[in-house]
Structure 1
Amino acid sequence: MILQRWKRRPDGSNWGDFGPDDAVGRLNLLTPERVLAAVQEVRTGISFCLSLPLDLPGGNVANPRRHPPKLVATVQDGVPVYNRSGSQAAGFASTGVVSDDAVLLYTQYSTQWDSFAHIGAAFDADDDGQDEIVYYNGWRAGETVVSPIENPHAEPWARFENPNAHELGVDRLAETCIQGRGVLVDLHALFGRERHFVGYDDLMRAMDAASTVVETGDILLLYTGYDQVILEMAGHPKREVLHGTCAGLDGCDDRLLQWITDSGVAAIASDNRAVELLPGRCVETKGLSAPLHHHCLFKLGIPLGEQWFLRDLANWLRQHGRTRFFLTAPPLRLPGAVGSPVTPVATV
C-alpha cells in the first residue's frame, strides 16, 4: 500500500487526484481514447518540426547559467574518431569509414520541456507548522529530488555531480510519449512583437478571433513570434531583445490561472522563453517570480514547453482556417533530469 506523501496540499492543487504516487500529472489525461481522437486531426499528412536548432538562441544572455551545446568527437587511442578508416576503429571493416561524436548539452537551453522537478516550493505539506521543500504531489527534496555532490577536482562545468530527480525525472514524462491533440492560439496576431502580459481577457480574445476551442486533454500551444526574433539574431542575441520582446502569459492573473485549472489542458508550450513573462508582476504580493510555473509545475502537474518553433505551423493553420493538429513531443528518456530538449512534431 502506497502512503500519501502529504497531509495538506496547496490550495488549488490537484495533488492526489491521480493517485498518491503519481509523477506525470495531467499527462494522465492523454488516454488512448483522446489520442485516437487527436489522430482524426490529421487530414493532409503534412508535418512540421517544432524545434529550433538547439544551438539557439546563442550565447548565455538569455540565462547566464545555460550555454549552447558543445559538440566534440569521441576519442580512441588518443585520436578523434572522425573520418576514420575502419582499420583504425575497432569493430569496423577496414574499407569502411566512421565518425562518432559526443555533446555537452544544457537540457533547458533551447527548445525544451520542464519537468515537475524544475520548480518546487517551501510548503507545510506535513501540516505541522513547518515548511519543507516539496514538489508536485508532495515528492520531497532530498528523497526524490536529490542534490548533487561537489567534486572540487572536476572540470568547472562538471563540479556538482550526480543530481537526480528520480521519480520526477523527465524520463517519467518521456514514458508517457506525450502524444495528443495540439491546439494553437495565435497571440502574435493580436500583439505583434509588443512585450505584453497576456491575461485571461486577452487569451479569450485571441481564442475567439480564430474560433479556438480547448478541451480536456488538449496540449495548448501559444504562438507569440518570439521564435522568429531568435532566428533573426542568428546566434548573436541582444539582451534587451531577448528580455523585452513579444507576449507571454500573465502568471499573476488569477482568472487566467483558474482557466488553466478548469480547462483540463494536459500541457502548455510556447515559442517564447518561459510561456509566462518573467519576472511576474506579483513578486511582492505573492512572493513568486514565476507564478505560472508555480501553478502549473508545482500545483497541477502540467508540463511547460519553452522556445518551440511555431512560426511555420501557425502560418499554415491561419491560412487553412484551422487551430488543431496531432502533436508528438516526448522528451529525451534521460533518467533523473529536470528538463530535456525536445523535437516536437505537429501533423496536420
Structure 2
Amino acid sequence: MADQKSAASQRLTQIKDFLTMNKTATTIPWDPDCTRFPTRKELPQIQGAPPEAAWVWGENDYIGRLNLLTPTRVAAASKEIRTGEIVPVNLPLDCPKQPAFGREVFKHEIKVLHENIAYDDLYVLNTQSGTQWDGFRHFAHVPTGSFYNGTKGSDIVGPSANHKCSIHHWAEHGIAGRGVLLDYRGYAEKKGINYDPFDYYPISWEELYQCGKDQGIDIRPAAQGGDIRIGDMLFVRSGWKEAYDQKSPEAREKAALRHGSGKDGEDGLRYAGLSQEQKTLDWLHDCYFATVAGDSPTFEAWPTHEDYHLHEYILALWGMPLGEMLDLEKLAKTCREKNRWFFFFTSAPANCPGGVSSHVNGNAIF
C-alpha cells in the first residue's frame, strides 16, 4: 500500500512538472539541475542518517549544496555583472589580531633567499582565525557525531584518516554564482534598533524579512513567490567589523579572550547573529542557498539558547558551506549606493587535501 501511494505521488509530481515545465527532485541522488526541491518538512528520511539530513547528492558526495552551482546557474548569475566593479570581502590575515575560541594568532615571517634579490613568505596560521569557510569537517551533528554525508572523526584524524569531506573537494568544484546581501546592521540603525554585535543578540526571521523588504527584496524562496533563487549565496551583515574597528586594541583582545558559557549573566564569548528559531531553519533550508555567510565569528547568535546549533544543520545535515568574519562593510556601502543587493560572487577555497576549512578569498563583482 505504501509503495502504491509513493508511486501515485510520483506520478502526480510528474504531471505537475509537465504542466508547469518544472523538474522536481524526487529520486536520490538528486539532479542539481532540478527546478524544484523538497522543503525541510518534505525531506525524505535517509537510512542510516540523522533525522533531517539532506545527504541527497550521492554516496560519495563531499560538496553538498555547491552541487547547485551548475553551469546554467553560474551563467545566469554572471548577468549581475554590469559595471565590473570588484568588492573584496577578505579581512587582512592578521585581523583579528587576537582570534576568539582560543585560536592561534597569525604569524608572518619574511624568508631571505638572497639579500636585495629574492624573498619568500612563511605563514603560521589557523584557517579559521579570520575570514573563513567552515568546511564540512569542522562541526558535526552533535547527537550522532556525524559530519556531512556520514563522515566520522576517524575519517579526519587517526590511522584510518582519508579525504571524506576534505576542503579540496570544494576547490576542485569551484565557487561562483549570485550573491545577495541582507544589511541587517544598516536596517537596524535606520529603525533605531540598538544592539551590540559583541553581545548575544538573535536576529529573527521576521527581522530579516523586514530588512529585505526595506531593501526592496522579498527574501522568501522563488517557489514561494520570493526573490531568492536556487543556488543563491547569502550574506548577512550584523555589524561585527564595524564594532571591531571602533574598539581599542585592548578591548578587542579582552573580548576575544572571554571565558565561560556566555549564558545567564556568566562571562563568555557572545555575538549577534541569526536566531536558531524554527522559522530561520525552514528559511535557510527551503531557499536552497548554495552557501551562507556573515561578518561575525559565529554567523548564528552565540551562544545558542537551544539544544542545537545552526552549525549542525547547515554543515553536517545539509552540506551548506558556512562563511564567517567576512568584511561586508564596503559591500554594504556599494550595495546601498547602487541600490543593488544582488551581485556576482566568486571564492577560491584552498586546494588542501585533507583540509578542514579555508580562507574565503572572495570577491563580489557588480
Normalized against structure 2, the TM-score is what? 0.75
Residues 1:175 and 2:178 aligned together: no
Code of the residue aligned with 1:217 in structure 2: it is G
**Amino acid in structure 2 at the alignment position of 1:104:** V
Q: Counterparts of 2:162 and 2:188 in 1: how far apart (Å)? A: 38
Q: Provide the secondary structure at the position in 1 that maps to 2:178.
A: strand
Q: How many Å apart are 1:121 and its aligned residue?
A: 3.0
Q: Give the one of 233, 247, 260 matched to 2:272.
A: 247
User: What is the aligned partner in structure 2 of residue 72 from structure 1?
Assistant: 109
| SS of residue paired to 1:293 | helix
Equivalenced residue count is 294
Match of 2:362 among 340, 344, 347: 344
Amino acid in the other structure paired with 1:58: K
Decide which of 231, 236, 242 is 2:245's aligned counterpart.
231
**What's the secondary structure of 1:121's corresponding residue?**
coil
Amino acid at match of 2:123: V
- Cα distance in 2 for residues equivalent to 1:273 and 1:338: 17
| CA–CA separation in structure 2 for the residues paired with 1:63 and 1:146 | 21
What is the SS of the residue equivalent to 1:167?
A: coil
The residue correspondences of 1:248-287 to structure 2 (distance < 5 A) are 248-251=273-276, 253-282=277-306, 286=307
Query: Does residue 349 of structure 2 align to residue 331 of structure 1?
Result: yes
Structure 1 runs (4+) deviating above 6 angstroms are 241-246
SS at match of 1:168: coil
More helix by share: 2
Query: What is the root-mean-square deviation of aligned Cα atoms in Å?
Result: 2.4
- 1:3 alignment partner in structure 2: none
Q: Does structure 1 residue 63 correspond to structure 2 residue 101?
A: yes
Structure 1: 5+ residue stretches without partners: 1-5, 75-80, 86-96, 124-130, 150-162
Per-residue CA deviation, residues 119-141 of structure 1 (Å, 9 max, x unaligned), is 11355xxxxxxx5x321111222
Query: In 2, distance between residues paired with 1:174 and 1:164?
Result: 20
Map of 2:132 onto structure 1: 112
Give yes or no for contact 1:165–1:338 (8 Å, CA) kept in 2. Answer: no
Deviations along 1:188-207, whole A, 9 cap, x unmatched? 02334614301221111111
Letter of the 2:188 partner, please give it: F
Matched, 1:190 2:187: yes
Structure 2 segments unaligned to the other structure (5+ residues): 1-45, 218-226, 259-267
C-alpha deviation, 1:165, in angstroms = 6.2
1:14 is aligned, of 28, 49, 54, to 54
How far apart are the structure 2 equivalents of 1:165 and 1:321? 46
Amino acid at match of 1:168: C
Tell me, yes or no, if the aligned pair for 1:194 and 1:246 is still in contact at 8 Å: no
**Alpha-carbon distance, 1:67 to partner:** 2.2
Alpha-carbon separation, structure 1, partners of 2:249 and 2:213? 36
Alignment of 1:8-157 (within 5 A): 8-15=48-55, 17-60=56-99, 62-64=100-102, 66-74=103-111, 81=112, 84=115, 97-121=117-141, 133-142=145-154, 144-147=155-158
Aligned partner of 1:321 in structure 2 is 339
Sequence identity percentage = 32
CA distance in 2, matches of 1:165, 1:204: 41
Of 217, 220, 232, which residue of structure 2 is paired with 1:218? 232
Q: Distance in 1 between matches of 2:131 and 2:162?
A: 20
SS across alignment from 1:336: coil
Counterparts of 2:162 and 2:88, CA distance in 1: 29
Q: What's the TM-score, normalizing by structure 1? A: 0.78
